[in-house]
Amino acid sequence: MSGKTIVIGACGQIGTELVLELRRRNGDEQIIASDIRETCPVTLENGPYIKLDVLDRESVRNYIIDNDIEQVYLLAALLSATAEKHPEFGWKLNMEGLFTILDLAKEGHLKKIFWPSSIAVFGPSTPKNNTPQVTVMEPTTVYGISKLSGERWCEYYFKQYGVDVRSLRYPGLISFGSLPGGGTTDYAVDIFYQAKLKGEYECFISEETYLPMMYMEDAIRATIELMEAPADNLTIRSSYNLGGISFTPKELTKIIQKTISDFSISYKPDFRQKIADTWPESIDDSVAKRDWNWKESYRLEELVDVMLKNVNISLLESE
């Protein structure tokens, strides 16, 4: 990578870890973190930070043009549960920022864009198991509708204007570096904090609900490998399926109990259960494997192990 890169939405669950890994690989000064927060979080203080509101199209355009930015990772978004509470704002935030960045690339100001999609693009009419890359997609959430629309626009800008935009349909992401916010899959992160803090957890997803998940390190590696893949190898310009591991809250609990034997879980499904019910249970990512040699590494036992060792409950207080 030669020119500078900006990560927009750098303070979120993915952004925090992506910035650090990109800086490790490319040098701290090359990777600019940006978010709507006034000040840079301590974890990202090893490199540049700029406050940007992705909805302020002019400021984003000026910053990117004036600073000769070549690549953008656009992560600012409302996730599934929050967007259901604020549908209009969810749609606005998730779409307008994407157009700002796609247009900059169309005008020749950017070389490459990464934009995340999600398993939320699928819906109740999608085959639930081993969900194929190309299939029925009738999402029922604002978040899912925005991600599916975004995917179609990414492909459109690639085909019509040659914009090099790349995307992954992330499954639920599990990490300890920073807290997730507003997602349906967040239970699979919360559970570790509560297991350590209280030894018990009230789960908002029912015990038998399978959802596809992935450990963050794998997700970051997938993101960077996709961005580094030769453009000619990529046959998908909407968004690639990414599989990971599928499990239920009950299965996750059993594995946590191997380390914290008196950990207990109770179930109180809320509106997020209805969202989860419309999503796939497992994902077929054979096209990603074929096109850019994707291979996941973490299995469930390893993921639980690393989470229990590293989750820091003081993060809960700092939020």
**Residues marked as catalytic:** 143
Question: Which part of the chain contacts ligand SER (CB under 6 A), choosing from 36-44, 114-122, 197-205, 214-222?
Answer: 114-122
Tokens encoding 16: 């925090």
State yes or no: residue 80 binds ligand SER (CB under 6 A): yes
Residues that contact ligand SER, how many (by CB under 6 A): 11
State yes or no: residue 219 binds ligand SER (CB under 6 A): no
Contact set for ligand SER, span 41-70 (CB under 6 A): none
Residue 16 or 80 having the CB closest to ligand SER:
80
Strand 4-8's sheet: what is its strand order?
Answer: 49-51, 31-35, 4-8, 69-74, 112-114, 165-166
State yes or no: residue 170 binds ligand SER (CB under 6 A): yes
Contact set for ligand SER, span 174-203 (CB under 6 A): 183-185
Run of H or E including 72:
strand 69-74
Residue 71 or 94 having the CB closest to ligand SER:
94
Residue whose C-alpha is closest to residue 237's, from 161, 155, 150: 155
Residue whose C-alpha is closest to residue 213's, from 82, 114, 289, 307: 307
Name the residue number minimizing CB distance to ligand SER: 183
Question: Which part of the chain contacts ligand SER (CB under 6 A), choosing from 112-120, 241-249, 262-270, 286-294?
Answer: 112-120
Burial 77-110 (b: 16+ CB within 10 A, else e): bbbbbbbbeeeeebbebbbebbebbbbbbeeebb
State yes or no: residue 120 binds ligand SER (CB under 6 A): yes
Q: Which of 20, 52, 79, 93 binds ligand SER (CB under 6 A)?
A: 79
Residue 185 or 209 having the CB closest to ligand SER:
185
* Euclidean distance between CA atoms 30 and 99, whole angstroms: 24
Side chain identity at residue 245, one-letter code: I
Helix axes 187-197, 249-259, angle to 10 degrees: 30
What residues make contact with ligand SER under the rule CB under 6 A?
Answer: 79-80, 118-120, 143, 170, 172, 183-185
